[in-house]
Amino acid sequence: MPDANNPPTEPYWRVKTLEEMTDQEWEALCDGCARCCLNKLEDWDTGAIVWTDVACALLDGDSCRCRDYPNRAQTVPDCIQLTPAEVRTLTWLPPTCAYRLVRDGEDLYWWHPLVSGDPETVHAAGVSVRGRTVSEAGMEVEDYENHVVDWPMRVPQRARRKPPRAPGAER
């Protein structure tokens, strides 16, 4: 059991379950990619999910953060708020999603802000939705079919690579 005199040597996401995380740890686990803020279409007959590049009206496309995070459920009633229980049942979480990775016993990617120490690495690695979306504001749901994409369920090539070493770093 870790204590103040003997802090854990492993990061919390490697030693805690999703259910054991504090609210602060849970929120920090979000990498800020905003892929979960994209609208998805479900085939009612098969249950198959397809992704669109249509983003929630509350998504700030530059920061990839919600414009009204504390009140998002009131403003967008179909917003799915991720909880440990939800994460354990959702099949559409992107393969890069930290909640999915921890759920599945995997480690975070090098570009995750908790690993890199920099919230911009998720964008530099090509994982975020920055510059790749259109807003749902004013769009008819019937038009979402014209915006189907498959990239949210793929890991970008540059996200798989190890980051370049800093100049002067040990080799």
Cα 33 to the center of its chain, rounded Å: 5
Burial class of 90 by CB neighbour count within 10 A (0 to 12, 13 to 18, 19+): middle
Cα dihedral value 136, 60, 109, 99, nearest 10 = -60
Residue 39 has pLDDT above 50, yes or no: yes
Residue 171 has pLDDT above 50, yes or no: no
- Tell me the CA end-to-end span of the chain in Å, nearest whole number: 35
Per-residue pLDDT reduced to its tens digit, 106-153: 999 999 999 999 999 999 999 999 999 999 999 999 999 999 999 999
Give this prediction's pTM. 0.86
pLDDT of residue 9: 85
